[in-house]
Amino acid sequence: MKPITVLLCLLLCLPLCAGCWDMKEINELAIVNLGAADKDPETGKITAYYQVINPSSLSNRPGADKAAVYTFKFEDYSLGRFTKQTTTLMPRRLFMPHMQVLILSERYAKQGIEDMINFVEMSPDRRTNILFLVAESPVETILNSFSPLERMPGRYIRSLLDLSNNGYGFGTPEPIRVKNLVIGLYRKQAMVVPLIRYTSPRPAEVTDRLEDVNIRKQSFLFAGGAVLLQGRMVGKIDFDEKEFYFILNKDVTSTLVTLRVGGGNVDVEADGIRVKRRFRAGGAEYRLRADLRIVNNEQSAAVTIRNMREVEQAFDRYFERKADALFRLSADKGWDLLGLQDHGVKDWRSAKVTFDMRSETSSVGNTNGPLRSEGRN
C-alpha cells in the first residue's frame, strides 16, 4: 500500500507543475538567439534586429536548410511596439528567453541606454544572464556575417567570453550582464563593457569563406571596452586598460605580460592576483599580491635565483606603472573607474592613490637552462 500511496501523491502534484500547462511547440516559435538595436540621434528612430534560429538547419536530414539563423529588421520610435511589429513579418511567435547576447550600436550607447535597460527589465520572460555588448562596427554588418566554427553569431560571441572565463584566456572578466547595468545606474563608478568590432567593412558571404581561410580578415574581435557612466557611453579604453580595470576592481585574477629582463623577453603569467583596498577621505591604498610563472624565457643567460628576483621586480614595476596610468586616465577624463566616490573619497580626481605590488615566482616553465644558485657551476 505504501508505494501506491506515494504514486497517488505524485499524480496529485502533477497539475501544480506550470510547465505542463504552458507547453509551446517549437514550430510555433521564433527563437531569438541574438538581439541588437541602433538609434538615430537626429530622429530618435530605433532599428531593432532579431536573429532567429532556423530549426530545420540543425537537422541531420539530407536537404536541410543551410542558413542557421535569419535576421529580421524592424524600425519604430518606441521599444514596446516591436513585439507587435514582428507579427507583420514573422510567421511565428517571438520567443526571447533563449537570447544569448544583446548588442547596441556605439551611437545608441552614447545617447544613453536607460530606456533599453528598463524595457528588458520589464519583460516578463526575460533571462537574467543576457550578455551586453557595444558594437564599434555597424550592427547590421555584425549580424549579417557568418561566424567561424559556430554557425550562430550569438553562440559564437558567448562562447568566446565563456572560454575566457574558464581559464582559456587572460584579462577577460565575467561577462557584463543587463542586471549589472541596472546596478551601474545608481553608482558613480564608471562601468566598462566589452566593445566588439568586425574586422571587415562588409559582411562575410559564403564565397568569401570558401576563397579565403584567413579568419581574422572577416571575423568578430573584442577591441577594448566601452566606458559607461550611469547608463551613457562616455568613451573607450584599450584592451590593456580594460584588463587593469577589472583586476583592480577584483573581477579578474590572472594576466599574461611580456617583460624585458636580462636583454631578452620574458613572458610571465600572473595568477591568483589578490587585491586589498583601503579607502580614506584623501585617497586610497592598493596592496596587490600575485604568483608568477615564467612561460617563455628568451634571456641569453640561464635562470638563477637572482634572475628570478629581477623578473619579479620588473613585473612589480610594470604593474604599478600600468595601475597608476589607469588612475591618471580616470582622473583626466572624469571617469571614476576605481569607484573612489562610492567609497567616500573626497575630491577623488586629485586624491592620492598608491599601488604596491609584490609578486613571487612560484614555478618556472620554459627556461634557457637548469635553475641553479648564483656562483654554482
Nearest to 224 by CA among 200, 202, 249, 197: 197
76 near 57, Cβ under 8 Å? Answer: no
Most confident of 20-24, 56-60, 107-111: 107-111
Which CATH code of 1.10.287.3510, 3.40.50.620, 3.40.190.10, 3.30.300.210 fits the domain covering 252-377? 3.30.300.210
222 vs 34: CA distance, rounded Å? 17
Residue ranges, comma separated, of all CATH 3.30.300.210 domains in the chain are: 252-377
Bridge partners (DSSP) listed for residue 296: 267
Radius of gyration of the chain (CA): 26
Q: What's the distance, Cα to Cα, between the start and end of the chain in Å?
A: 84
270 within 8 A of 358, measured Cβ to Cβ: no
Report the SS3 class of residue 123: coil
pLDDT digits (tens, 9 = 90+) for 268-307: 999 999 999 999 999 999 999 999 999 988 887 777 888 8
pTM of the model: 0.82
Q: DSSP letter string over 153-172?
A: HHHHHHHHHHHIIIIISSS-
The pairing of strands 101-105 and 93-95 is unpaired
The residue ranking higher by pLDDT, 302 or 76, is 76
What percent of the chain has pLDDT above 70?
79
- Alpha helices in the chain, H assignment, sequence order: 2-13, 82-86, 106-111, 114-122, 139-143, 153-163, 178-184, 206-211, 239-248, 305-333
pLDDT digits 0-9 by tens, 178-222:
888 888 888 999 999 999 988 766 665 554 444 455 566 667 778
